[in-house]
Amino acid sequence: MVTALVTGPTSGLGRQFAIQLAAAGVDLILVARDETRLVELDLELSTSYGITCEVIPTDLSNRAALKAIENRVADVSRPVDWVVNNAGFGLAEPFLNTDVEDEQRLLDVLVTAPLRLTHAALPGMVERGFGRVIVVSSFASWVTSGTYSAAKAWATVFVEGLAAELADTGVHATALCPGFVRTEFHDRADMDVAKIPKQLWLDPADVVAKAIKDCEKGNVLSVPGKQYQAMAPMVRLSPRALVRRVTALGTVDPNTP
């Protein structure tokens, strides 16, 4: 039986990853802070799809708690075939106005947790000749604003580097780089998105379906939505000075999930 670890599965993209993998008959390890919502999701998925869920309520910014998840992922007697690093963290205020401890927690969740969980999973995956790793990055990884943007830039480049190491191993790693997605992310981070054109919003089910398909194919980057597929090359290839100026004008939201 195939097993997937999904972090942050109680809402948004994480919930869609859990649903779509469960629908494909994949057993799940669900990791999030909200135990009540985890238990509800466990009941929903196990009842609807007949799969087994292992629920682990934990805060990924807590290093001791994260270590326990690493140990579970690395347990060769209970192999994990998919690791979906989805847990999110956003800050509405600019860097100079935030609490440094909040900034540290953002990096713990968006950088440290994916790094350590992926590092724990890969040896077993490579030994078995099969594995799938998805790191939820962002279109924001190509712009220049705040720690969120920097963390997502790390995620994208991290996966691009892994691709070379994993060539011919049977293990695929994909960075999912969406733009604006209709989830709870912006509300929970207290971000004002009222002025975002409706044409820029993506449906979470479509985003996740593409990510899973791209990972299965071995595509290193997954950019959902034709509008973002058109914009991504322009942003990635533009002079960095221009990207900085455009980002500073607020044309590109650095906190797209």
User: pLDDT class for 231, splitting at 50, 70, 90?
Assistant: confident
User: Catalytic one among 49, 148, 158, 185?
Assistant: 148
- Domain for residue 18, yes or no? yes
Q: Is 148 a catalytic residue?
A: yes
- Domain for residue 157, yes or no? yes
Bigger pLDDT: 104 vs 250: 104
- Domain for residue 55, yes or no? yes
- Domain for residue 103, yes or no? yes
- Domain for residue 255, yes or no? no
Q: Which pLDDT score, from 0 to 100, does residue 210 have?
A: 98
- Domain for residue 145, yes or no? yes
The dihedral of CA 123, 216, 163, 64: what is its sign? Answer: negative
Q: Is 30 helix (H, G, I), strand (E, B) or coil?
A: strand
Written as one letter, the residue type at 194 is: A
- The answer for residues whose C-beta is within 8 angstroms of residue 231's C-beta and 6 or more apart is 139, 179
Between the alpha carbon of residue 168 and those of residues 131, 146, 158, the distances in Å are 12, 36, 18
Residue 243: CATH number of its domain: 3.40.50.720
The number of distinct structural domains making up the chain is 1
Mean pLDDT of the chain: 91
- Domain for residue 211, yes or no? yes
The dihedral of CA 104, 82, 236, 223: what is its sign? Answer: negative
The residue range of the domain holding 74 is: 3-248
User: pLDDT class for 251, splitting at 50, 70, 90?
Assistant: very low
- Domain for residue 123, yes or no? yes
